[in-house]
Amino acid sequence: MKLDSKIPEGPIGEKWTKHKFKLKLVNPANRRKYDIIVVGTGLAGSSAAASLGEMGYNVKVFCFQDSPRRAHSIAAQGGINSAKNYRNDGDSVYRLFYDTVKGGDYRAREGNVHRLAEVSVNIIDQCVAQGVPFAREYGGLLDNRSFGGAQVSRTFYARGQTGQQLLLGAYSALERQVNEGTVKQYTRHEMLDVVTVDGVTRGVVVRDLVTGEIESHSAHAVLLCTGGYGNVFYLSTNAQGCNVTAAWRAHKKGALFANPCFTQIHPTCIPVSGDHQSKLTLMSESLRNDGRVWVPAKPGDKRLAFDIPESERDYFLERKYPSFGNLVPRDVASRNAKEMCDLGKGVGASGLAVYLDFADSIKRLGEDAVRAKYGNLFDMYAQITGENPYKTPMRIYPAVHYTMGGLWVDYNLSTTIKGLYSLGEANFSDHGANRLGASALMQGLADGYFVIPATLSDYLAEIGPKAIDKTHPAFAQAVKDVQERTARLLAINGKKTANEYHKELGKIMWEYCGMARNKEGLQKAQKLIQELRADFWKNVKVSGEAGELNPNLERAGRVADFLELGELMVVDALERNESCGGHFREEYQTDENEAQRDDDNYAYVAAWEYKGDNKPEELHKEDLVFENVKLTQRSYK
Amino acid sequence: MAGNMNITLKVWRQKNAHTKGKLVSYDAKDVSPDMSFLEMIDEVNEVLIKKGDEPIAFDHDCREGICGMCSMVIDGRPHGPKEGITTCQLHMRSFKDGDTITIEPWRAKGFPVVKDLVVDRSAFDRIIQAGGYISVNTGVTIDANAIAISKQDSDKAFDAATCIGCGACVAACKNASAMLFLSAKVSQLSLLPQGHPERMSRVENMLQQMEDEGFGNCSNTGACSVECPKEIGQEHIARLNREFIAAKASSENV
């Protein structure tokens, strides 16, 4: 299989414009003859479904939650990047492009990233027009804040609830189309398979989570906007329902999965408090604008934060990276926090935490000013820990947050299955080996509002509006496969719950495929996952019935897919004999313990092809070509 | 572990919308005060699954207080005894050893029970569909800074926009009114100039939809704001009423 990224020819700044002109269009009167299915209603899914509905396509949108507004984009806190240069501090489309390629440790496609930077300015215009209440200054114009990995202030925000406000904007646009009749909305429905005929996408199979009925739906094109797979680690900042199932089932039907080992561990999360814990809570990166990260200078110093004098504290990020200080990219901040804890300088009962201290900012700006900026985050921290962060420093530790890997897509966001597209976090395309803060919201909305409406028409015009034949046996077969799988899960009637398997998988992934990885550990993890998966299919206990609301059954199906994905992540991490961004192989580091890339041998996208149950997947390589950005050792010093 | 608690739960169990429900007692043993309320129920469910019993169905997702999915009436109060938070942010340190806790679903005609503690809140989507948006298509080319909006208005609009659509306001209201939910959206969009062209039809259509869904009207008891996890205030209902009167005064829809 030859992977064609379809990056247009020409200078970087002209690629997207020229490409858009070359794409075929669908006449407005013909659009309603095309059925489009959108799976997932986060920023990418809601914005795509709304935009395609506005254009006149016949759209069906699916989500497993009870309303599209619940999708986990809602929880994004800090902000959204845009190259508006409203601060006059030297920002530009090219700088956002450059920062993103560098921040991703040179493992992203230049063409995609430049397009992302270009449309970033349109996103802000669109959202303001929808009534998204971004933070403003007294003059009435929009405010900005700074985020990691950049030396300009280009992040637009709505207190600590930017994702919520952007998603509600996209959701309201979507509901408007539901009202107009261009979009039909299916809530509490989970996608469980893609239907293909001769390698071309023809629809999906979904389970109605309330009645348990397995249904198929046909379409000319299917858009998977189903988010990331961070929950493979069990504990992550993802919502409970976040899963890889839709993307994984597509993978098993022929869609290549790219860079699965590229996982982002976010440096500022509330530490684990006990074995009962079901999720980890992020404290926005924006806090690093005003909070200072430190540990006691002496290992094993168990004094309270107050009792440790200034001279005996180590502000390790400021010390090691004077020009970016506390605002180094996430992978760098996370790794340094781990290093401090490994040295015995960790704080709190578990010793697995560092301080994020606001005392200086409160002294400088006053408590009220700090509350105005971060009030909801401080409240959340107090709820969860029972401590008051205005009085005592926050304790934070890295946690799984985002997955840069995902379904392989070309420049048009098409997967390797014709007619199947992937948008937002579910695809792999724009963040390389590390995503910069405030770029996930940007990418989700770029894909949904601006990229897919342009690129999808080209495919639709090519295939024509002929109705899809739903009587084709592929539909009945796909439904039958899903029913059998469901029945199989219920029939095992073993001794361990799906949750217990999930927790065990998470521990393996975190231990061997987390912040630091090495060959020996990864090999061990692969074996452990294989054993755990085999045991799952013999010994899992799923209660309840297939024909009713059964969250336990939903969970078991998702865990089964995580048990397969986990192994692929480990295989991918083993195969990549270099360190880059969030993928830190202990064998490959510089003298200063920074990630040591190997551009001669690994400047490629690793795209994996499924070859059958329990068979090794086949690796395909898409070489990355850098014509504009010079590859160097990333330095934030 | 020291400090852990034993708690009795009385939980509403209802097979589906067509059957009758009842309160059933469960023991939650060895509960850590650091657990969230939902994690405590997770543990109870693990025990139930292993026994081959059906676990308690409840809605939840983000577990960080923002998605609006969790919905439980705990000891008679939506989202439990603490103010300004959702159920998922409630921690067991708010309870003590030996407590009995009653857990019920949202109860309102507009929110029929799906199963156990899960209710159908699609009526809220339909209320938004009736007008909770600004009618702009994708592709706006007006620069975001072309409209100046006073920080004061913008902040007020934001306060309204923080509504998470959980439905606690309805569950708290003796009339099962959705007025606070409605007012949050109407208020947000009427405070912003972008929302002005449609302000009349918006308030009329959304209110009509609320009635059609079987929610009651507002009699200003204020319980909704007390229970609202985002502390959305009564001033938004006042603004909604002003918008409604203004709309009716000039309406072509009378």
- What domains, with CATH codes, occur in chain A? 15-260+404-463 (3.50.50.60), 265-401 (3.90.700.10), 473-602 (1.20.58.100)
Position A373 pLDDT exceeds 90: no
Position A77 pLDDT exceeds 70: yes
Q: What is the pLDDT of residue A298?
A: 96
Cα distance between residue A164 and residue B127, in whole Å: 19
Q: What is the mean pLDDT of residues A598-625?
A: 97
CA distance B52 to chain A (A): 6
Q: What is the pLDDT of residue B3?
A: 84
Contacts of B105 (CB under 8 A, 6+ apart): B12, B14, B71, B72, B73, B111, B113, B116, B117, B118, B119
Q: What is the pLDDT of residue B254?
A: 53
CATH classification number, B121-249, choose in 1.10.1060.10, 1.10.287.130, 3.90.1150.10, 3.30.365.10 = 1.10.1060.10
Low-confidence ranges of chain B (pLDDT < 50): 1
Position A148 pLDDT exceeds 90: no
Q: Please report, in angstroms and rounded to a whole number, the separation of the first and last CA atoms in chain A.
A: 42
Position A335 pLDDT exceeds 70: yes
List the catalytic residues of A: 330
Q: What is the pLDDT of residue B156?
A: 97
Cα distance between residue B57 and residue A65, in whole Å: 14
Cα distance between residue A73 and residue A46, in whole Å: 10
Q: A541 near A494, Cβ under 8 Å?
A: yes
A411: how many CB neighbours lie within 10 A of its CB? 20
* Closest to A429 in 3D by CA, of A123, A4, A112: A112
Cα–Cα distances (Å) from A143 to A120, A164, A425, in that order, read 16, 18, 26
Q: A232 near A505, Cβ under 8 Å?
A: yes
Residue ranges of B 38-57 with Cβ closer than 8 A to chain A: 38-40, 42-43, 45-46, 48-50, 52-55, 57
In the three-class reduction of DSSP (H, G, I as helix; E, B as strand; rest coil), residue A41 is classed as coil
Q: Does B17 touch chain A (CB under 8 A)?
A: no
**Would you call B157 and A131 a contact, using CB atoms and an 8 Å cutoff?**
yes
At A533, list the tokens: 């998966």
Q: What is the mean pLDDT of residues A215-237?
A: 98
Cα distance between residue A445 and residue A48, in whole Å: 8
CATH (residue range B5-115): 3.10.20.30
| Residues A341, A342, A345, A347, CA torsion sign | positive
Q: Does B2 touch chain A (CB under 8 A)?
A: no
Cα distance between residue A458 and residue A455, in whole Å: 6
Q: What is the mean pLDDT of residues A36-45?
A: 98
Give me the residue from B39, B115, B124 closest to A276, CB to CB. Answer: B39
Q: What is the pLDDT of residue A636?
A: 83
* pLDDT tens-digit readout, A458-511: 999 999 999 999 999 999 999 999 999 999 999 999 999 999 999 999 999 999
* Closest to A281 in 3D by CA, of B109, B36, B10: B36
Q: Does B80 touch chain A (CB under 8 A)?
A: no
CA distance A173 to chain B (A): 7
What's the whole-model pTM score? 0.97
Q: What is the mean pLDDT of residues A342-365?
A: 95
Cα distance between residue A191 and residue A183, in whole Å: 17
**Would you call B164 and A164 a contact, using CB atoms and an 8 Å cutoff?**
yes
* Closest to A38 in 3D by CA, of A191, A196, A257: A191
Query: What are the extents of the domains in chain B?
Result: 5-115, 121-249
A26-32, long-range: CB < 8 A, 24+ apart: A26/A457, A26/A460, A26/A461, A28/A55, A28/A56, A30/A465, A31/A55, A31/A56, A31/A57, A31/A58, A32/A56, A32/A57, A32/A58, A32/A182
β A263-269/A394-403 pair status: antiparallel
Q: What is the pLDDT of residue B22?
A: 98
Q: What is the pLDDT of residue B152?
A: 96
**Would you call A128 and B147 a contact, using CB atoms and an 8 Å cutoff?**
yes
Which residues in chain B are contacts of A269 at CB distance < 8 A?
Answer: none
Q: What is the mean pLDDT of residues A595-623?
A: 97
* Closest to A326 in 3D by CA, of A338, A314, A318, A336: A318
Interface ipTM above 0.90:
yes
Q: What is the pLDDT of residue B2?
A: 57
Position A575 pLDDT exceeds 90: yes
Contacts of A341 (CB under 8 A, 6+ apart): A351, A352, A353, A354, A397
Cα distance between residue A7 and residue B99, in whole Å: 63
A388: how many CB neighbours lie within 10 A of its CB? 10
Give me the residue from B50, B53, B67 closest to A239, CB to CB. Answer: B67
Q: A405 near A261, Cβ under 8 Å?
A: yes
Cα distance between residue B35 and residue A385, in whole Å: 10
Which residues in chain A are contacts of B63 at CB distance < 8 A?
Answer: 239-240, 278-279, 281
Q: What is the pLDDT of residue A82?
A: 98
Cα distance between residue A594 and residue A336, in whole Å: 10
Which residues in chain B are contacts of A158 at CB distance < 8 A?
Answer: 158, 161
